[in-house]
Amino acid sequence: MLGLMQDVPLTVDRILDHAAAWHGTRELVSRDAEGRVTRSSYAAVHADAKRVSNALSDAGIRLGDRVATLAWNSARHLAAWYGACGMGAVLHTLNPRLYLEQIAYIANHAGDRLLIADPACADLVAQLLPQVPSIERVIFFCDRASLPETPYPATAFDDWIAGYPAEYRWGGFDERTACGLCYTSGTTGNPKGVLYSHRSNSIHALMTLQRDALGLCARDSVLLVVPMYHANAWGVVYSAPAVGAKLVMPGQRMDGESIYNLIEQEGVTYSAAVPTVWQMLLQHMRDGGHRFSTLERVTIGGSACPESIIRAFRDDYGVDVIQGWGMTETSPLATVSVPNASVAAKPADEQIAYKLKQGRLLCGLDLKLVDDEGRRLPHDGKTPGRLMIRGETIASAYFGGEAGDVLDAEGFFDTGDVSTLDAEGYMQITDRAKDVVKSGGEWISSIEIENIATGHPAVALAAVVGVAHPKWDERPILLCQLKPGASADAEGLKAYLTDRIARWWMPDDVLFVDEIPLGPTGKIDKRAIRAGLTGYRLPFEAAR
């Protein structure tokens, strides 16, 4: 017997339809590279998205064709996003911070037919086009007056959609139809494409709206710092319109002053970003003696959050920090460190230990830990293992069949992370499998050492990598980027770590660097660090 309920496909166009119909006047605020702020609304973006669908259809774009964007966050970008997805095309977000060779590889692999880019990317596009013959046309997210001069044909976005009706029949296809395409960062080998479905994105939006997740509501003003080219902007491009939250999009300017000004000017109550963005904001707050008047909570993800950030937000500014974990292959949000009943009953300082973990699983997903032979490991909060995940928002394969079969016999996807799970259901990443330091047959967590080192008052950023050792296989070394005007020495850093980490975890060397390299999403780039250490010798070897 089947239920007697209406069978409506879960397609993402229905999200923007709802936002326009029931939250049509709610503001969307965009800031461009020059700092100019423009204002739109869900109703206006919905109308432009319909015009985009008409323009794409006239350009010959059909169901399943890939439409690429190379841009930062803006209302125009959001209109292009829904306009492509609504007609059944696949919205492919390209990351402008990647190397040209990586972007070209990704665009070719995806078979992108049309490219819509920020004007700031005009020179990059000029280098890209000869390498990607599948791209038939270039549009820039701007009006005619801001259209850059280029050696190739290009059209202003506003001109491109002008004259088209704000009516187009969206949907009409299976909810499992491909919706979005986002490539992994390619830290090991070539980037791989994750192909989201309308169903997975719709379900992910509902999952993240839970109070035990991001908990967005119609009263929120959301600063979308997470780039739209980064794994569905953590799903906020769907969850915010679903509830009619105000959206504030900062464009390229991510420095502390620019972020703070937008928070105050637009009454921001919630935001999400990687730790490096929040470190810049907190430094600006301290230097200028500023306070927040509306900000209530922030989500931190992308890499483990140092305790110093959590305490600074909470103790100095009364802002709650929600740590989240996910990856491109998980849509991306999968766990969130919102307290359960027993953790919430603990004193505030005891709750910090749980906030430092990556959190509890969202409904609909399942986790397990396994050893290198695939045997399940206990959830005792102590035993680390390879983190495996499955569920309706988890990738089952990569676009084009890259990497072959990526699921185990039980349908779990290997995240590549090493973690623990405790009795409360909290997951904590101890390392990436490729970054864990294996010393004398035991694992040393680079992440834990980094987080503790970042708590030193002089340290802005810290990174730990393993270096080959003739006896122990590997030993950790610590790289530190100091805060402006601060000073520290190796012995002082080691003294700070003493009693905070196990003795055998103590880094064999401490190196002070002008700048720790960051990847295109703001994470510490350990591949670049290792490349820069070519020829490095541990102190006992250098002394020989």
C-alpha–C-alpha distance, residues 377 and 369, integer Å:
5
User: Among residues of the chain, what percentage have pLDDT more than 70?
Assistant: 98
User: Using H for helix, E for strand and C for coil, what is the string for 422-436?
Assistant: CCCCCEEEEEECCCC
Architecture of domain 435-542: 2-Layer Sandwich (3.30)
Over residues 448-463, the mean pLDDT reads: 91
170 is catalytic: no
d(CA 408, CA 413): 7
Strand locations in 362-482 (E): 365-370, 385-391, 413-421, 427-432, 437-439, 442-444, 459-469, 473-482
For Cα atoms 127, 128, 129, give the angle at the middle one, nearest 5 degrees.
100
pLDDT band at 296 (very low <50, low <70, confident <90, very high): very high
The one catalytic residue in 175, 266, 329, 448 is 329
pLDDT-derived band at 317, boundaries 50, 70, 90:
very high
Burial class (CB in 10 A: 0-12, 13-18, 19+), 186: middle
- Per-residue confidence band for 472, with pLDDT thresholds at 50, 70 and 90: confident
Angle of the 198-208 helix axis to the 13-22 helix axis, nearest 10: 50
Read off the DSSP letter of residue 330. Answer: G
Among 11, 93, 177, 184, the one annotated catalytic: 184
Q: How far is CA 148 from CA 112, 125, 139, 145, in A?
A: 22, 11, 11, 9
Torsions phi, psi for 329 (to 5 deg): -75, -5
Q: At residue 422, does pLDDT exceed 60?
A: yes
CB 216 within 8 A of CB 222: yes
Going from N- to C-terminal start, the domains of the chain cover: 8-24+31-191, 254-434, 435-542
Pick the CATH number of 254-434 from 3.10.20.440, 2.40.50.140, 3.40.50.12780, 3.40.1280.10: 3.40.50.12780
- With beta carbons less than 8 A apart as the criterion, state whether 56 and 87 touch: yes
Express each pLDDT in 208-225 by its tens digit. 999 999 999 999 999 999
Position 32 confidence tier, pLDDT thresholds 50, 70, 90: confident
Topology match between the domains 8-24+31-191 and 435-542:
no
| pLDDT for 313 beyond 80 | yes
443 labelled catalytic:
yes
pLDDT at 188 over 60: no
d(CA 253, CA 230): 16
Q: Residue 435's pLDDT is what?
A: 79
Q: Residue 153 corresponds to which tokens in the numbers above?
A: 């044909």
| 44-81 pLDDT, tens digit each | 999 999 999 999 999 999 999 999 999 999 999 999 99
Among 443, 472, 483, 523, which one carries the catalytic annotation? 443
Task: Give residue-wise pLDDT tens across range 116-160.
Answer: 999 999 999 999 999 999 999 999 999 999 999 999 999 999 999
- Whether 355 sits among the annotated catalytic residues: the reply is no
Residue 438 is a catalytic residue: yes
What pLDDT sits at residue 63?
98
**Rounded CA separation 497/257 (Å):** 32
Task: Please state the rounded mean pLDDT for residues 289-296.
Answer: 98
Res. 544: pLDDT tops 60: no
Residues 6+ apart with CB under 8 A from 169: none
Tens digits of per-residue pLDDT, 249-280? 999 998 999 999 999 999 999 999 988 889 89
Structure confidence at residue 543 as a pLDDT band (50, 70, 90): low
Please, what's the b/e burial string for 465-485 (b: 16 or more CB within 10 A of its CB; e: otherwise)?
bbbebeebebbbbbbbbbbee
Helix or strand run (H / E) with residue 83: helix 75-86
pLDDT at 369: 97
pLDDT tens digits along 475-519:
999 999 999 999 999 999 999 999 888 888 899 999 999 999 987
Q: Does domain 8-24+31-191 have CATH number 3.90.1150.10?
A: no
pLDDT mean over 85-108: 94
**Average pLDDT taken over every residue of the chain:** 94
- Among 438, 442, 498, 504, the active-site one is 438
Q: What's the rounded mean pLDDT across residues 232-246?
A: 97
Predicted pLDDT at 441: 67
107 membership: H or E segment, kind and range: helix 100-110
Task: List the Cα angle 519/523/527 in 5-degree steps.
Answer: 55
Q: How confident is the model at residue 542 (pLDDT cuts 50, 70, 90)?
A: low
Residue of higher predicted confidence among 85 and 440: 85
Q: Are 319 and 298 in contact (CB under 8 A)?
A: yes
